[in-house]
Chain A
Amino acid sequence: SQQGEEDPQALSIQEGENATMNCSYKTSINNLQWYRQNSGRGLVHLILIRSNEREKHSGRLRVTLDTSKKSSSLLITASRAADTASYFCATDAGSDKLIFGTGTRLQVFP
């Protein structure tokens, strides 16, 4: 399997705290993406980082990429209850085929 892994599997924090999720993958990539899934629904794209980039920001999201370690992290700053969801990383395995990880379930308590 080419599937990557997210760590931790589950994360519980209070509103206002930062949430950090990590992703490890197995193959060379062109880019890495992060997605969010609210309970029982389809996934929504959050951010894409290319293999030649090391860090990218979008609003309260910060993504880092270390291709030498085949890993990425997603930081959500000043979390809100509405950030409660599952978060997945996805890699392209060097082609257009999109491979997802196992996901991190984030619970943000008011």
Chain B
Amino acid sequence: DVKVTQSSRYLVKRTGEKVFLECVQDMDHENMFWYRQDPGLGLRLIYFSYDVKMKEKGDIPEGYSVSREKKERFSLILESASTNQTSMYLCASSFSGRYLNTEAFFGQGTRLTVV
């Protein structure tokens, strides 16, 4: 079974802290994604990575950065956490579109609270 693992299920951080959310996939997928999910807003793409060290901004990249040093690991970094970044964060991975099967597999999510 494909597995996408997020390092924490729940996190509580203080305003101004630097926060790292880690995601690991075991299917050798090229693509990895970070989304945040808020009530009524659905899933909004923060960053997308299509290869090691390659990334593209999504719809809401402000206040976030990402790192992909290895193919299986994609990290989301909140440089200075703020209360408006309190949210559910979802990581996903998929094969490249050239393989035609671009089904995405999701982790269980990290519910981050910034106080």
Contact = CB atoms under 8 A, between A and B. Distances in A.
Contacts of A98: 31, 33, 45, 48, 92, 94, 102, 104
Interface stretch (A11-19, A58-66, A69-77, A89-97): A89-97
B107 A88 contact: no
- If over half of A's interface residues share one DSSP class (helix, strand or loop), that class is named, otherwise mixed; here it is loop
Given A98-B92, A102-B42, A31 B59 contact: no
Q: Is the interface of B mostly helix, strand, loop or mixed?
A: strand
B108 A41 contact: yes
Given A45-B104, A48-B102, A95-B97, A40 B109 contact: yes
Most-contacted residue by chain A among B40, B92, B101, B103 (CB, 10 A): B103
Contact of B106 (A40, A44, A92): A44
B97 A90 contact: no
Interface residues of B, number: 31
Interface string A73-110: 00000000000000010101001111111110000000
B97 A1 contact: no
B97 A99 contact: no
Contacts of B16: none
